[in-house]
């Protein structure tokens, strides 16, 4: 089971996540309380081993700017968390994670999209993602997309992630606020969350998964 720790802002938090077994480290470059400048992310990225994939989160950003930041930081994936069209995804020379808000009214609009992973998240709050709220995981069973391309996000924590994995059986999970205390990454929570996920889910190697 793959684990993405998102909203990383310090080298220590990244190192704790890597040592605990994280598969993805996420940097937020969109408007958010977890936003980080590309140069700061690049410094942190230098300490992240190649087998842990670096993800940049963007919301309705220009293609040129996303590529520019990806090159500065050394990203492996670009996560589109806004209203980006499939055409934008096709033009990116990087692997793509596309976030979709899951709610009954739009469940059938989540379909064929040119991405490596579908990040299924809660409906947006003040910001796109990172709102700490879950959604009805059972809605995912109505989707026709390949479950090996599904990452579940939205309000996950050590208290509920095992239930989410058992119900959805995704390729992986994504957490940000669920491993924080008072808005700051909590190293104990990061370790506990990753340990629970790895105990619960199937063993996945990110480099051995075959994606579009």
Q: How far is CA 137 from CA 80, 102, 148, 163, 166, in A?
A: 21, 9, 16, 10, 10
What's the pLDDT at 98?
Answer: 97
Query: From CA 143, how far away is CA 49, in angstroms rounded?
Result: 34
The SS3 assignment for 107 reads helix
A 10 A CB-CB count for 62 gives 10
For residue 107, what is the domain's CATH number?
3.20.20.70
What's the pLDDT at 165?
Answer: 94
Say if residues 176 and 8 touch (Cβ distance below 8 Å): no
Say if residues 169 and 148 touch (Cβ distance below 8 Å): no
What's the pLDDT at 78?
Answer: 98
Query: pTM of the full predicted structure?
Result: 0.92
Say if residues 71 and 88 touch (Cβ distance below 8 Å): no
Q: Is 121 a catalytic residue?
A: yes
What's the pLDDT at 210?
Answer: 45
Query: From CA 76, how far away is CA 83, in angstroms rounded?
Result: 21
Which domain does 170 fall in, by range?
2-208
Q: Is 186 a catalytic residue?
A: no
- Catalytic residue of the set 112, 121, 146, 186: 121
What's the pLDDT at 197?
Answer: 97
- Catalytic residue of the set 6, 76, 116, 174: 6
A 10 A CB-CB count for 138 gives 9
Sign of the four-CA dihedral 62, 67, 70, 76? positive
- Give Cβ neighbours of residue 205 (< 8 Å, ≥ 6 apart): none
Domain total of the chain: 1
User: Token digits for 65?
Assistant: 């700017």
A 10 A CB-CB count for 199 gives 10
Print pLDDT tens along the chain (212 aa). 999 999 999 999 999 999 999 999 999 999 999 999 999 999 999 999 999 999 999 999 999 999 999 999 999 999 999 999 999 999 999 999 999 988 888 777 787 899 999 999 987 655 555 456 788 888 888 888 888 999 999 999 999 999 999 999 999 999 999 999 999 999 999 999 999 999 997 776 666 654 44
CA 47 remoteness from chain centre: 19
- Give Cβ neighbours of residue 57 (< 8 Å, ≥ 6 apart): 6, 26, 27, 28, 29, 30, 79, 81, 129
What's the pLDDT at 211?
Answer: 45
């Amino acid at each position: 089971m793959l684990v993405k720790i998102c909203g990383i802002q310090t080298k220590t938090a990244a190192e704790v996540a890597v040592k605990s077994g994280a598969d993805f480290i996420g940097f937020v470059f969109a408007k958010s309380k977890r936003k980080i400048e590309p140069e700061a992310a690049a410094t942190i990225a230098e300490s992240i081993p190649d087998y842990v994939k670096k993800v940049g989160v963007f919301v309705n950003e220009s293609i040129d700017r996303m590529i520019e930041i990806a090159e500065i930081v050394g990203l492996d994936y670009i996560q589109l968390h806004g209203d980006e069209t499939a055409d934008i995804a096709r033009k990116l020379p990087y692997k793509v994670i596309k976030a979709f808000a899951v709610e009954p009214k739009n469940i059938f609009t989540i379909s064929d999209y040119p991405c490596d992973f579908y990040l299924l998240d809660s409906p947006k709050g003040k910001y796109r993602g990172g709102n700490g709220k879950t959604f009805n995981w059972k809605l995912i069973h109505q989707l026709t997309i390949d479950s090996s391309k599904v990452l579940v996000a939205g309000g996950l924590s050590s208290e509920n992630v095992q239930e989410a994995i058992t119900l959805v059986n995704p390729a992986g999970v994504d957490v940000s606020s669920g491993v924080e205390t008072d808005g700051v990454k909590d190293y104990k929570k990061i370790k506990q969350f990753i340990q629970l996920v790895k105990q619960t889910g199937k063993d996945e190697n990110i480099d051995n998964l075959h994606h579009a």
